[in-house]
A and B are shown apart, each in its own frame.
Chain A
Amino acid sequence: MNIKKQFTEGLITNNPVLVQLIGMCATMAITTTLFNGVGMGLSVLIILTCCNVVVSAIRKIIPNEIRLAIFVVIIAGFVTIVDLLLQAYIPALSDALGVFIPLIVVNCIIIGRAEAFCQKNTVGASFFDGIFQGLGYTLVLIVMCVFRELLGSGRFGGGLIDIVNGFRFTLDGTGSGIQIFPEDFGASILTLPFGGFITLGLLIAIMQYALKKSAKKKEAAAKAEKEAEEVC
């Protein structure tokens, strides 16, 4: 298992949200501003990487019958740590995400990776798997945030980017973002729950289209090669 393959798997061909179709509750709920999306994505990335390393390090001493209970306890421990750290250092993010930070415990991405990957692989491979799967998740969150925020309220980078006092990144969630077009022209329905369902549906549809197309291309290439060989 090499790193480059893991990278493309995590970000594209085996993306947790778009291809494995797991961890969708938070994906639809919190993608209203870029601040929330980046914060949630990075929290999941950190928790996923830590859990992957711990689970793969103790994979040989975990009794098979109670492995799920052990995974849940490990995950809940790391989630509590991240939750307390956010409350202490980035309270705005902790307020904005609310109950969805503790709910990372039941996010299927983390328990899914522990069950499907870390049980059978070394610590190093699991570490990179955590980082790349986390990046894949963050990428989807960012795409959804940008789409919903831009078309919903005409803004880009709300909460995260502040342009009032010169261009800078803020961590207290007060950044006004860059207003691309007046808010009145935005389809504000995209920032409501309806927008979450529709945007994720469209994204998965685009992904399925792209994957199918690339599979067809590969098939055609293989066919052409075979024919060429036969001619020779």
Chain B
Amino acid sequence: MLTNIISISLGAILINNFIFSQFLGCCPFLGCSSKVDTATGMGLAVVFVMGLASAICWVIDQFILVPLGLEFLQTLAFILVIASLVQFVEMFLKKSVPSLYSALGIYLPLITTNCAVLGVVLLNVQNDYNFIESVVYGITGGLGFMLAIVLFASVRERVAFSDYPECFEGFPICLVSAGLLALAFMGFSGMQIFA
């Protein structure tokens, strides 16, 4: 059990990083990474929502959809759960933990359309994870996203001062530097964990 959890977490953070090897969550990754502060905020919000969404969607899938034979509604059910979950988290934080709310602020509503969140929930179902494994995969997947976005934001802060061709202004130079980061993360792909 423990080895299983360790291998899931290392896999989600380093080997199969959500951004650099599975391309899940690229839009916020490229959109919210111009400063390290905002990247950290976005990363924290994603860890939080991904962990919570994994837990709730697992319960809904196992206790409502599967017994009723409604597995074909998974996509629809999960996206509704994520959208309402994000709304609830927003309202809850606003009332009870205003300091965290103001730190996450505008990033919370954006998370609904982050494909890493829906992706992790669908992958949980695909991999037949149990409750604990799902939650661990959700949280560590979020941590992998956070690691990637914070690293990338610090790269971008330096890229801003460098000299590159004019037509690479904006997104293209970001994509090229993200590609180089992905190349670095490929180094983990040979790792074998308790296989």
Residues of A within 8 A of B (CB): 21-22, 24-26, 28-29, 69, 72-73, 76-77, 79-80, 83-84, 98-99, 102-103, 105-108, 111, 189, 192-198, 200-202, 204-206, 208-209, 212
- How long is the Cα–Cα vector from A158 to B166 in the complex, in angstroms? 35
Top 10 nearest A-B pairs (CB, nearest first) are: A197-B179, A201-B175, A29-B23, A209-B167, A205-B172, A76-B76, A198-B179, A201-B176, A25-B26, A102-B75
- How long is the Cα–Cα vector from A223 to B62 in the complex, in angstroms? 68
Residue of A106, A197, A200, A205 touching B118 (CB-CB under 8 A) = A106
- How long is the Cα–Cα vector from A140 to B53 in the complex, in angstroms? 33
In the complex, which residues of chain B have a beta carbon less than 8 angstroms from the beta carbon of A29? 22-23
Question: Which parts of B1-33 form the interface with A (CB within 8 Å)?
Answer: 20-27, 30
Smallest CB separation, B68 vs chain A (Å)? 16
Smallest CB separation, B66 vs chain A (Å)? 17
Q: List 7 A-B contacts (CB under 8 A).
A: A28-B23, A80-B72, A103-B119, A194-B180, A198-B176, A200-B175, A205-B168
- How long is the Cα–Cα vector from A185 to B174 in the complex, in angstroms? 29
Known: A103-B118, A205-B172. A80 touches B167 (CB 8 A): no
Instruction: List the A residue with the shortest CB-CB distance to B20.
Output: A193
Residue of B23, B72, B75, B123 touching A193 (CB-CB under 8 A) = B23
Known: A198-B175, A204-B172. A25 touches B118 (CB 8 A): no
In the complex, which residues of chain B have a beta carbon less than 8 angstroms from the beta carbon of A201? 168, 171-176, 179
Instruction: List the B residue with the shortest CB-CB distance to A200.
Output: B175
Annotate B68-83 by CB proximity to A: 1 below 8 A, 0 otherwise: 0000111110011001
- How long is the Cα–Cα vector from A103 to B23 in the complex, in angstroms? 12
Residue B165, interface by CB 8 Å: yes
Instruction: List the A residue with the shortest CB-CB distance to B178.
Output: A197
- How long is the Cα–Cα vector from A29 to B173 in the complex, in angstroms? 19
- How long is the Cα–Cα vector from A194 to B126 in the complex, in angstroms? 25
Instruction: List the B residue with the shortest CB-CB distance to A83.
Output: B75
